[in-house]
A = this chain, B = another copy of it.
Amino acid sequence: MRPDSLAELGEFGLIDRIRSRFPAPSGVTGIGDDCAVIPQRSGNDTLVSTDMLVEGTHFLREDITPYDLGWKSAAVNLSDIAAMGGRPTATFLSLALPANLDPGWIEAFMNGYADISGRFDTALLGGDTTASPDRICINVAVLGECPSGKARLRSSAMSNDLICVTGPLGDSAAGLKAILQGVERDADVQRLIERHYRPVPRVPEGLELASNLYVHAMMDISDGISSDLEHILEASDLSAEIDVDAIPLSAVLKRVCKRYGWDPLALAAGGGEDYELLFTCSRQAEMVLTTPHFVIGRILSARPGPGRRITWRGGTPSAAGFDHFKKR
Chain A positions within 8 Å of B, measured between CB atoms, are: 29, 32-52, 54, 56-58, 80-81, 83-84, 86, 90, 92, 94-96, 125-128, 130-135, 137, 139, 141, 143-146, 148, 151, 153-155, 219-220, 235
A interface, over-half SS: strand
Q: Given the complex, which residues of B lie within 8 Å of A83, measured CB to CB?
A: 34-35
Taking the nearest CB of chain B, how far is it from the CB of A220, in angstroms? Answer: 6
Q: What are 28 of the A-B contact pairs (CB < 8 Å)?
A: A29-B151, A33-B155, A34-B83, A34-B84, A34-B154, A34-B220, A35-B47, A35-B84, A35-B151, A36-B47, A37-B84, A37-B146, A38-B45, A40-B40, A40-B42, A40-B148, A48-B90, A48-B126, A50-B92, A50-B94, A50-B126, A50-B139, A51-B94, A52-B137, A57-B96, A57-B132, A94-B139, A96-B137
- Interface contact B35-A40, CB-CB below 8 Å: no
Write out the residue numbers on chain B whose beta carbons fall within 8 Å of the beta carbon of A144: 35
Copies of this polypeptide in the complex = 2
Q: Are B153 and A33 neighbours in the complex by a CB distance under 8 Å?
A: yes
Could you tell me if B139 and A52 are in contact, using CB atoms closer than 8 angstroms? Answer: yes
CA distance A184 to B86 in the complex (A): 55
